[in-house]
Structure 1
Amino acid sequence: MYASDLAALPVRFGAALRHRRLFHPSGALANGELVRTAFEGEGLPMQSSRVVARVSKGVGVPGGIPDVAGLAWRIPPPGDLSSCGPWDVLLASTLAGTRFLLAPATSFAAATFSSLMPLRHRGGLWWVRATLTSSFSGGLDLDAVRTEIETRGMDFTVEQASGWGEFRPLARLRLQHVDPSSDDIAFDPVLHTHDEVRLAPGWLADFRRAAYRRSREGRGAQ
């Protein structure tokens, strides 16, 4: 057993006890659209496509109690390339002005969502962040999120930064319809990634890979 697998065992036990994800157990699943706004070839290869996305709470505390806010979306493989899998992008709320310090948010509207780890692409390191740009007064209420998505939609601006440079527009993300099928899609940013993109550093990516696998094992998900 690798050290990363051993370190991730508590995640499996926690997921088994909760019968759901240990982290970000509560979420609103939706269908939407990602529209690239950056020039082609500029930065990360994130292309326009239909996506499935999830707005979530990290601990799953009730009501409006501050919690780590989460945003994830899955980009399907381009065209009919069966050799390529989906690309999962996972972001979480961070302390203002930082890229990797997790912090609770008081509302989804006030959160700055970050990739927490840089993405290695063609020899460079890129960060991703997102903010909600449409109006939303529901705080951290996931039922309010579902209602908002279904009635008016929710819009996010997605940005990218090279190294420690400034963030620039990458894409727009619009969530339009609540997906009633399931809220247990196994988003995994290490297992499901673009073939030219990898999370960095490698040792931390290995731990996250093991943690996501242990979480799926603990709750019996695929």
Structure 2
Amino acid sequence: MSISELTTLPIRGGAALRKKRLFHPSGILCGGTVTRLAPDGVGLPLVSGEVVGRISKGAGTPGSLPDFAGLAWRMPGDADGPRPWDVLTVSSAARVVLRPVRSWPEAQYSTLMPLRYRGGLYWLRARMRTPVDVDGLSVEAVRDRIETGPVEFTVEQACGIGSFTELATLTFDRELCDDDPGCDQPFDPTVRSGAEIALEPRWLTRMRRAAYRNSREGRGAE
């Protein structure tokens, strides 16, 4: 058994006891679109198209209590080919520092790890730009908001230590179920990251891959 497997083995036990995801256990699956705003060929190879997403609470605190806000989405391919690309982000105070928040619009989401693409290291971040007129961090509030109109996020990219620039708009306009098309696989950027994109550093990617696998196996998702 590898060091990554041994280190993340307790996650399997935690997921088994919880009988659900150990991390980001409460959330809403949603469908929508991503629309590229950056010029083609500038930065990451994101292309416009349909997406499946999930807005979630990291620790699963009840009701509207503060938590780490999560935003994930899956694209069926990118400019380099039709391989799926999963992006996972979480509320942060900087590119790599987790930060709990008290409301959805307050959160600034980060991938926490850079993405290597064609010799460059890129960071992704996002922010909700749709007001949610409910105090607190409630998944139900997001569900109610999507029922009345789309929820939009601005997605930005930065190369290395450079400034962030606008990459795309992410729009969710409907709630989905686990058995809807494209929703049958958990989000996992360590195994689905497009045709030529890789999370860095590799040792941390291996650790995350083992953690996600143990969480899935612990709750019987595989």
TM-score, normalised by the number of residues in structure 2 = 0.94
SS in 2 for 1:108: coil
2:108 aligned partner? 112
Distance of 1:195 and 1:167 partners within structure 2: 23
Deviations 1:170-190 (A, max 9, x none): 000000000134587410011
Alpha-carbon distance, 1:75 to partner: 0.3
SS in 1 for 2:212: helix
Distance of 2:206 and 2:215 partners within structure 1: 14
SS in 1 for 2:27: strand
Tell me if 1:211 matches 2:207.
no
Q: Does the CA contact (< 8 Å) of 1:109 and 1:137 recur in 2? A: no
Letter in 2 for 1:108: W
Deviations 1:156-201 (A, max 9, x none): 0000000011100000000000013458741001111112100000
Alpha-carbon distance, 1:70 to partner: 0.1
Alpha-carbon distance, 1:57 to partner: 0.1
Q: Does the CA contact (< 8 Å) of 1:100 and 1:116 recur in 2? A: yes
Letter in 2 for 1:177: R
> Which structure 1 segments of 5+ residues have no match?
none
Distance of 2:87 and 2:219 partners within structure 1: 21
1:43 aligned partner? 43
Alignment of 1:26-105 (within 5 A): 26-77=26-77, 84-95=82-93, 98-105=94-101
Distance of 2:184 and 2:66 partners within structure 1: 23
Distance of 1:7 and 1:160 partners within structure 2: 31
Alpha-carbon distance, 1:63 to partner: 2.0
Tell me if 1:24 matches 2:20.
no
Tell me if 1:9 matches 2:5.
no
2:147 aligned partner? 150
Deviations 1:3-62 (A, max 9, x none): 011111011111111111000000011001000001101000111110000000000001
Distance of 1:199 and 1:146 partners within structure 2: 31
Distance of 2:22 and 2:190 partners within structure 1: 18
Letter in 2 for 1:93: S
Q: Does the CA contact (< 8 Å) of 2:78 and 2:195 recur in 1? A: no
SS in 2 for 1:135: coil
Distance of 1:78 and 1:170 partners within structure 2: 13
Matched residues, percent identical? 51
Against the structure 1 CA distance between its residues 143 and 184, is the aligned structure 2 distance closer, same or farther, given a 3 Å change threshold? Answer: farther
Against the structure 1 CA distance between its residues 141 and 185, is the aligned structure 2 distance closer, same or farther, given a 3 Å change threshold? Answer: farther
1:130 aligned partner? 126
Q: Does the CA contact (< 8 Å) of 2:9 and 2:214 recur in 1? A: yes
Distance of 1:77 and 1:166 partners within structure 2: 26
Letter in 2 for 1:12: R
Deviations 1:55-100 (A, max 9, x none): 0000000122210000000001369x7xx531100000012xx101
Higher mean C-alpha deviation, range 60-69 or range 106-115: 60-69
Against the structure 1 CA distance between its residues 108 and 7, is the aligned structure 2 distance closer, same or farther, given a 3 Å change threshold? Answer: same
> Which structure 2 segments of 5+ residues have no match?
none
Against the structure 1 CA distance between its residues 199 and 126, is the aligned structure 2 distance closer, same or farther, given a 3 Å change threshold? Answer: same
Letter in 2 for 1:118: P
